[in-house]
Chain A
Amino acid sequence: MTNATLGAPPTDEAMRTEEQPAVRSALSRQRLTSAWLFLTPMLAVLAFVAGWPLLQTIWFSFTDASLADLDAARFVGLRNYFEYVDYGDGTGEWFGLFFDAQWWNAVWNTVYYTLVSVSIETVFGLIVALVLNVPFRGRGFVRAAVLIPWAIPTIVSAKMWAWMMNDQFGILNDMLMSIGILSHPIAWTASPETAMWAVIIVDVWKTTPFMALLILAGLQMVPSDVYEAAKIDGVHPVKVFFKVTLPLIRPAILVAVIFRALDALRVFDLIYVLTPNNTETKTMSVFAQENLFQFDQFAYGSAASTLLFLVIAAITLVYIKAARLNLGGGR
């Protein structure tokens, strides 16, 4: 028992023997009860505003619901997902979301948009965060200023950029032409080659500050004595960045990435306002919205929403697993 006499913390074994089992269970039972007491209102609200609409959407995806008369919806099984229709003359076709090329095109657009824009935003966000982490005069002002794009509502910034990217009156073409990069104006949001990139540019402009903010928070948690030690040892700053800074802020970056990715996977407003909504930029949300509200296909749109939910859930789970992200807190 030398450990104890030296004033070291008691071992696990010592702890276990010290606590009385009966007392612990009464205490923890009481704690459990109060925890549930505090959690119940929140769970009820969540079930009401998130769970119920979700379940209803999933239910509608198995019916033939029409927005004109939702109460008349009848159960039709998996017909909205896949169904073989026999034309009766020896020919037939597969129908349903699983066989809808437009849906898969929308899925691909969404995934492509998410991968590209979130990657760029992470790199840019990291750079901005590193700059803002260095003390300099007026840092507070700059930190506030970079948040402006994030603070502007998406609808407003999308409309603003739509004008700046206009092929006839847009300032972007005007500037690029006057410095000689372009010879004739480009229709940024309309041309199939540039439409998706126009969306990505605006998204990067808008959400880089958000990434920078989250990563900056991570950077501020890194203890300064680590850097001082590296400095004394004469380690090259680049090596310090890759061997010290990056591993230490990795959890912050991973959380920031998943926040942004979840946001990007359900993108709607930016694309709807900025681009003329052609095949090149149509995302899963836009596809679902069209079917739900513009066409008489409420059930089909519900099926698309359900798949959208599943796709996002699957990507999130894979990401959390692959990045070994600990969302439960603790170590």
Chain B
Amino acid sequence: MRFGRAAMAVAATLAFGTSPVSAAELSIVSGSVGADIQELRTQLAEFEAETGHHVNIVEMPASTSDQFGQYRLWLAAGTDDIDIYRVDVIWAPQLANQFVDLRDAMADVIGDHFPSVIESQTVEGRLVAFPMYTDAPALFYRKDLLEKYGRTPPTTWEELTETAKEIQDKERRAGNRQIYGFVFQGAPYEGLTCNGLEWVASSGGGQIVSPDGEITINNEAAARALERAHAWVRDIAPAGVLAYKEEEARGVWQTGNAVFMRNWPYAYALSNGEDSPVNGKFEVTTLPAEPGSRSAPCLGGWNLAVSKYSKHKDEAIALVRFLSSRRAQKERALTYARLPTIPALYDDPEIAERQPIIAEWADVVEKAVPRPSAPTKRQYNEVSKEFWTAVNETLSGAASAETNLKTLEHRLRRLKRDGWR
């Protein structure tokens, strides 16, 4: 093993003429949804072959909320065990002080990426993380079933509800007992904040907290949107949706047991896999909206940050540069349908052919709605938790949307006091 690595380093020196002073041992920590780890492993192998460094993957659970707690603990302890963190788009303001400023190191490539993504990772002038890929969810629908019942892909939530109900009931009567109309992420975690924000924002209910920090969530449009979602549970969605994250929803969908699914583009590549029962039977479209409002997909995406406590900062930055490069992003787009953060790649003919969702998603990404992580600063996680709790309680029917939103406003006001910190 050691010999192999040394041989690679020699080969790299011969091939590139650069002499790696010494092969470093790096650690990258990453969550694991779908093929995340496999995806990372493949690309790290290339990096290792080119540089002679060795990179360990520290694997985390799928829930972003779980990952965050652990990352915060490691960073607070100032551990040097982790060099590179794969961080969610919403974390920048909360972890900014613990990461290296990448502005100078990346100066030559910053201009290649979406300015909005770069901006989302900039805190007080410091670029704390660099984009790996961006994300904006899609409405997955079963083309074959919609055609069978002569329906078109829905553009409003009303239409989605009706179509899902009709196909679900008729399919069940025809003997397909396991089928459900719609699956999404209803477990109380960060993903539900995304789902809830999409329902509310696409119904004219605003963004929970406005960009200038006002608490706007307690309004009639928001209550209507959440009541509508409550009606889905058990009517067109399985009761278990209250515990579903991305992968549970994909499980139901990919076994062919759902007419519609709300999920991120990673599910597109996996659902089209050769062993997938829904391979070739589905299409994607943008999320529905209420008439008069526009579709409001939640902006997601993952970035790479270098720990302030790393002992190999230069090598870590080289890895960030490698994983965010045009080449790596294209490879991820081709194999895993990851949305690039480099606008030019959306016109790439090879990507358009292999993963048609990406070319279609260029303007979805640009119009995606950010979660209120910027205005609520270090308190975002708690704001998000209060919101997902209110949404989850509404979905489960513990109280009405109106009551829950009133409580939510009260709690947010208590968090904010005289201003977000």
Contact = CB atoms under 8 A, between A and B. Distances in A.
B381 A191 contact: no
A278 B396 contact: yes
Contacts of B379: 295-296
Given A68-B97, A187-B243, A276-B242, 6 more contacts: A167-B238, A167-B243, A185-B238, A190-B241, A278-B396, A294-B68
A275 interface: yes
A73 B419 CA distance: 20
Nearest to A70: B76
B65 interface: yes
A210 to B, nearest CB: 28
B252 A276 contact: no
B188 A276 contact: yes
A67 to B, nearest CB: 4
Contacts of B23: none
Contacts of B65: 294
B242 A168 contact: no
Max chain A Cβ within 10 angstroms of own Cβ: one of B73, B186, B188: B188
Nearest to B192: A276
A9 B248 CA distance: 75
A207 to B, nearest CB: 24
B28 interface: no
A167 B98 contact: no
Contacts, number: 96
B216 to A, nearest CB: 18
**10 A-B pairs with least C-beta separation:** A167-B240, A190-B243, A187-B240, A190-B242, A293-B69, A276-B187, A187-B239, A276-B243, A295-B382, A296-B378
A295 B75 CA distance: 14
Interface stretch (B318-326, B358-366, B385-393): B385-393
B156 interface: no
A290 interface: yes
A276 to B, nearest CB: 4
Interface residues of A, number: 31
A192 B186 CA distance: 13
A297 interface: yes
A40 interface: no
A67 B393 CA distance: 29
A36 interface: no
A49 to B, nearest CB: 17
B173 interface: no
A109 interface: no
Interface in A147-191: 166-169, 185-187, 189-191
Contacts of A276: 187-189, 242-243, 392
Interface string A277-301: 1110000000001100111110000
Contact of A293 (B73, B238, B257): B73
B69 A278 contact: no
B414 interface: yes
A66 B248 CA distance: 34
Nearest to A275: B243
A144 interface: no
A168 B253 CA distance: 11
B233 to A, nearest CB: 10
A190 B94 contact: no
